[in-house]
Amino acid sequence: MTQLPPTVDLDNPWTTNATVVPYENQWIRIEHNEVTTPGGSDGVYGVVRFKNRAVGVVPVDEHDHTWLIGQYRYALDEYTWEMPAGGCPEGELVEDTARRELLEEAGLAAGTLSPLLSRVHLTNSVTDETGWVFVATDLTMVAPEPEDTEELALWRLPVDDAINMVLQDEISDAFTVMALLRLHAIRTSQAS
């Protein structure tokens, strides 16, 4: 772990005075907080609390190909290409979620899962969402089992092509961008 400069204070400088939950569903809880800011003034802070952890998986076969999932994202009103990913409920291992999402979305069973990203924070200024990503290898094709809320397209392509899609801004999903750039960085450092 990198050592912090001696002047950094790791204690929470915010004071929460009151919390109201105006909306909650099976995936999220929205909090409206009345706070005292680090500077001592009164303020408000809205937070989206996720009920699941985000788990993604980058499948890589023996020919160095991966799979991207295409789907229409309601919140963005846009079609996107992403790695297989989904939510890990409380009490479930992130590895089990990675295997399930890979099976559901891509129709792949992983013989081996290797950690790629551990506990990254996604949009940490307004949410508490955390994510984990794995690389799946020793793959076996099976029938996909998408959820009824998903209408998915499956695209098999070389890993380098997927990384180039990130570099050319053709993949906008931050979680997928992080995963593919991390994989690229690891491969580059191992090659040198």
Please state the domain extents for the chain. 15-49, 52-191
Decide if 84 contacts 70 (C-beta within 8 A).
no
Residue 181 or residue 7, greater confidence: 181
- How many C-beta neighbours within 10 Å does residue 17 have? 10
| Separation CA 15–CA 34 (nearest Å) | 9
According to the model, what pLDDT value does residue 104 have?
A: 94
Q: Which residues of 166-191 are buried (b: 16+ CB within 10 A; e: fewer)?
A: beeeebebebbbbbbebbbeeeeeee
Secondary structure element (H or E) that encloses residue 66, with its range: strand 65-73
- Outline where DSSP puts E strands in 74-151: 78-82, 85-89, 108-121, 130-141
Q: What is the pLDDT of residues 89-136, one digit of tens each?
A: 999 999 999 999 999 999 999 999 999 999 999 889 999 999 999 999
For the entire predicted model, the pTM comes to 0.90
Residue 20 has pLDDT above 80, yes or no: yes
Mean pLDDT of the residues in the chain: 94
Query: At residue 149, does pLDDT exceed 90?
Result: no
Give me 23's structure tokens: 């909306």
Q: Are 85 and 178 in contact (CB under 8 A)?
A: no
Q: 87 near 55, Cβ under 8 Å?
A: yes
Q: Which CATH superfamily, name and number, covers 52-191?
A: Nucleoside Triphosphate Pyrophosphohydrolase (3.90.79.10)
Residues 177, 164: contact at Cβ < 8 Å? no
